[in-house]
Amino acid sequence: MPPYQINPLPPRLIVLIGFMGAGKSTVGPLLAARLGWRFLDVDAHLEARTGSTIAELFAARGEAGFRRIEAEALAHLWNERELVLALGGGAIESELTRALLEQSRDVCVVFLRAPFPVLVERCENQPGARSRPLLQERQTLHSRFQSRLRHYENAHIAVDTDGLRPQAVADLILSRLPESALALPKAQGARNI
Ligand code: S3P
């Protein structure tokens, strides 16, 4: 699949993608604050909507069931404006979600990239590490990462996050957004993608 086309329209949504530990939920609010937009973490949204944790949803519905709920939730959010969305790391496994990301011409998809060992280490250092269903599946984790990479790499913007603080990552994204996306003072202006 070729990379997503550069969008001709100012983005109304910025969608952060990347593997677990990429920093989507940390960088997202910083980016949203700089833009004066709202931020939503799709996992947190699902937990609030269903009253169950992600681990409980995995246990009750299986991974395929979880992916369906995740894709449906995203489809419902898709017409929002001035929103930064953090997708779960596996959301791009859903064909429906990939189609949304590919076809929307006023959405900017940003991949937060980091090497696999860095991602695993970041996850292990988080308080919720034990409740991450897929982090426990060590034998398949790396192959999952590999098979997802080609989807992540289709994003409009890819940012290498290793060694960077979250604010620096947010600033890098801002500097690479199309000028038209920014409701920021000129001094912080952006280059084209
Ligand atoms: C998953 C990533 C998690 C969460 C669930 C499954 C995955 O989200 O959706 O545990 O398949 O990679 P984060 O990437 O926000 O941690």
Q: pLDDT of 38-97, one tens digit each?
A: 999 999 999 999 999 999 999 999 999 999 999 999 999 999 999 999 999 999 999 999
| Neighbour tally for 100: CB within 10 Å | 20
Distance CA 55, CA 139 (A): 19
| Nearest in space to 84 (alpha carbons), one of 23, 135, 130 | 23
Q: Does ligand 1 come within 6 angstroms of the Cβ of 54?
A: yes
**Beta strands of 115-176 (E only): which ranges?**
157-160
Residue located via tokens 């290498």: 160
| CA dihedral sign, ordered 59, 97, 153, 17 | negative
Q: How far is the CA of 183 from the centre of ligand 1 (A)?
A: 31
> When comparing pLDDT for 178 and 149, which is higher?
149
Q: Does ligand 1 come within 6 angstroms of the Cβ of 133?
A: yes
| Confidence tier at 135 by pLDDT (50, 70, 90) | confident
15, 17, 20, 148: residue to mutate for ligand 1 pocket, most atoms within 8 A of CB = 20
CA-closest residue to ligand 1 atom 10: 132
* Confidence (pLDDT) at 186: 39
Highest-confidence segment of 105-119, 127-141, 169-183: 105-119
| Neighbour tally for 145: CB within 10 Å | 17
Q: Does ligand 1 come within 6 angstroms of the Cβ of 28?
A: no
Q: How far is the CA of 59 from the centre of ligand 1 (A)?
A: 14
Q: Does ligand 1 come within 6 angstroms of the Cβ of 89?
A: yes
Q: What is the CA radius of gyration of the chain?
A: 16
